[in-house]
Amino acid sequence: SVLFFRHSAESRADLITRQITHVLSAAHSKRRGPPEIYEVMKITYMGIEAHDSCDFDISVHFCAAADFIHRALSSGGKVLVHCHVGVSRSATLVLAYLMLKQNLTLVEAICAVKDKRGIIPNRGFLRQLIKLNGQLFGMLH
């Protein structure tokens, strides 16, 4: 399963309780690098230095993030996707995964995620997801 939460990313108890095997951080900082806790706990980590700004091109990370999530889930893993607030960057990457790997339209992906978690991708990210939807499904959806 794919989970995304705000504070669980560095809580050892939460990571253990939720049996997290993989972490995708949309709030990665090259200066800090991945938190040591992941290495100690043998959690596979992928960090994306994404900014929650309407101008930021997060779409360049859609395929790599979707592949990371897909590989983790295919091997029976549990993925935590997080950013600072937990509603824009992380949600955008999960929506892209659902579109690219589960063949959901953007509307279907939003409905699937919204039922489990409040999400608010910023306007720029939403435009990029709409563009992806058009590339995957044509303009009819």
The per-residue pLDDT for range 10-51, each reduced to its tens digit, is: 678 888 888 999 999 998 766 565 678 888 899 999 999 999
Q: What is the CATH number of the domain that holds 110?
A: 3.90.190.10
Q: Tokens 């790997």 belong to which residue? A: 101
**pLDDT at residue 104 is higher than 60:** yes
User: What is the domain count for the chain?
Assistant: 1
Give the integer Cα–Cα distance in Å for 2 and 90: 11
pTM of the model as a whole: 0.88
- Does the annotation count 83 as an active-site position? yes
Q: Which residue, 75, 77, 119, 60, is CA-closest to 95?
A: 119
* Marked catalytic residue, from 54, 63, 83, 111: 83
In percent, how much of the chain has pLDDT > 90?
59
Average per-residue pLDDT in the chain? 87
Give the pLDDT score at 46.
Answer: 94
Give the pLDDT score at 139.
Answer: 67
**pLDDT at residue 6 is higher than 60:** no
Tokens representing 42 are 């043998």
Do the beta carbons of residue 10 and residue 82 sit within 8 Å?
no
Range of the domain at 108: 2-137
Give the integer Cα–Cα distance in Å for 97 and 90: 11
Give the integer Cα–Cα distance in Å for 59 and 57: 5
* DSSP H helix total and E strand total for the chain: 6, 4
